[in-house]
Amino acid sequence: EDQVTQSPEALRLQEGESSSLNCSYTVSGLRGLFWYRQDPGKGPEFLFTLYSAGEEKEKERLKATLTKKESFLHITAPKPEDSATYLCAVPKGYGGATNKLIFGTGTLLAVQP
């Protein structure tokens, strides 16, 4: 069964303390892996798409990497405004459409000043 698992469920960091979030997946024929950020009371906001093992994408303090079985979201020197829930998702093919996203349950990140 296609599945996306994220760890840890929650992470508390001090400002400037770098760390990584993990997303492992079991889908056949990966057609990309998406990272989203969700703030309280808001919808998920798109961050990155990764398509092949070895690919990396960066945005400010965030860097996403992809292997054949998992993806990491590295957060370098985080700031309090990086506090949010980070979600990863993979598309599952559905009658030719590949935008049926299977989401993980997210990692709730809290960065304390």
Partner 1 sequence: DTAVSQTPKYLVTQMGNDKSIKCEQNLGHDTMYWYKQDSKKFLKIMFSYNNKELIINETVPNRFSPKSPDKAHLNLHINSLELGDSAVYFCASSHQPGQRNSPLHFGNGTRLTVT
- When the beta carbons of 75 and 87 are compared against partner 1, the nearer one is 87
Number of other CB atoms surrounding residue 36 within 10 Å: 20
For the beta sheet containing 62-66, the strands, ordered from the edge strand earlier in sequence to the opposite edge, are 3-7, 19-26, 70-75, 62-66, 56-59
- When the beta carbons of 65 and 85 are compared against partner 1, the nearer one is 85
Tokens 């990966």 appear where?
A: 30
Give me the residues that bind partner 1 (CB under 8 A), please.
32, 34, 36, 38, 41-46, 49, 51, 85, 87, 89, 94-101, 103, 105-106
- When the beta carbons of 4 and 111 are compared against partner 1, the nearer one is 4
